[in-house]
A and B are shown apart, each in its own frame.
Chain A
Amino acid sequence: MKSDIHSLRERSLLKLVAAAALILLILILVPSLVGTYQMQLLIYGLVTAIAALGFNLLLGYTGLLSFGHSAYFGIGAYTVALVVQHLGPHSMEIYILIGIPTVAIVSALFGYICVRHTQIFFGILTLAISQVVYSLVLKLYWVTGGSDGLRVPRPSLLLGLLSFSGPRGFQQFVTSYYYYVLAIFVVCVIFMWVIVNSPFGKTLQAIRDNEIRARFLGIRIRRFRWISFLISGTFTGLAGILWVPLNGLTTPDVLYWTFSGEIVFTALLGGFRNFTGPIVGGMVFTYLRTYAVATTEYWQLLLGVVLVTLVLVLPTGIVGALAKVGQSLKGKS
Chain B
Amino acid sequence: MILLETVNLRKQFGDTRACDGINFVVNEGEFLSLVGSNGAGKTTLVNLISAHLQPDSGQILLAGRDITFMPVADRIKAGIARSFQIVNLFDGLSVFDNVALSIFSREGKAVKMASLAEHDYEVRRETVEVLGEFGLSSKTEIPAGGLAQGERKLLDVAVAYALRPRLLFLDEPTSGVSTHEKAQIMDTVSSVVRGGHVTAVVIEHDMDVVFRYSDRIVMMHEGSFLADGTPDEIRANKDVASILLGAPLAT
Give 1 or 0 for each of B94-110: 1 = CB within 8 Å of chain A CB: 00011011101110011
Verify if B77 is at the interface (C-beta below 8 Å from A).
yes
Contact A203 B72 (CB under 8 A): no
Q: B113, B138, B141 — which one has the most chain A CB atoms within 10 A of its CB?
A: B113
* Residues on the A chain within 8 Å of B88, using CB: 210, 212-213
* Residues on the B chain within 8 Å of A236, using CB: none
Verify if B73 is at the interface (C-beta below 8 Å from A).
yes
Contact A218 B117 (CB under 8 A): no
Verify if A216 is at the interface (C-beta below 8 Å from B).
yes
* Residues on the B chain within 8 Å of A219, using CB: 73, 105, 110
Question: What is the interface size of chain A, counting residues whose CB is below 8 A from a CB of the partner?
Answer: 30
Question: Which residues from 205 to 227 on chain A have a C-beta closer than 8 Å to any C-beta of chain B?
Answer: 205-206, 208-210, 212-220, 224, 227
Verify if A117 is at the interface (C-beta below 8 Å from B).
no
Contact B77 A203 (CB under 8 A): no
Question: Which residues from 162 to 202 on chain A have a C-beta closer than 8 Å to any C-beta of chain B?
Answer: 194-195, 197-202
Question: When the two chains form the complex, which single residue of A194, A205, A213, A224 contacts B115, counting CB atoms closer than 8 Å?
Answer: A194
Contact B100 A200 (CB under 8 A): no
Contact A213 B84 (CB under 8 A): yes
Number of chain B interface residues as a range:
35 or more
How many pairs of A and B residues are in contact by the CB < 8 Å rule? Answer: 108
Contact A218 B77 (CB under 8 A): yes
Minimal Cβ-Cβ distance residue in B for A1: B137
Contact A203 B104 (CB under 8 A): yes
Question: When the two chains form the complex, which single residue of B92, B106, B110 contacts A200, counting CB atoms closer than 8 Å?
Answer: B110
* Residues on the B chain within 8 Å of A215, using CB: 72-73
Verify if B140 is at the interface (C-beta below 8 Å from A).
yes
- In whole angstroms, what is the CA distance A289 to B88 when docked? 42
Contact A218 B106 (CB under 8 A): yes
Verify if A9 is at the interface (C-beta below 8 Å from B).
yes
Verify if A2 is at the interface (C-beta below 8 Å from B).
yes
Interface residues of B (CB under 8 A from A): 50, 52, 72-73, 76-77, 81-82, 84, 88-93, 97-98, 100-102, 104-106, 109-118, 120, 123, 128, 137-138, 140-141, 159-160, 163
| Additional A-B contacts beyond A1-B137, A197-B116, A201-B117 (8; CB < 8 A) | A199-B115, A201-B113, A205-B97, A206-B98, A213-B88, A216-B82, A216-B84, A218-B106
Interface residues of A (CB under 8 A from B): 1-2, 5, 8-9, 194-195, 197-203, 205-206, 208-210, 212-220, 224, 227
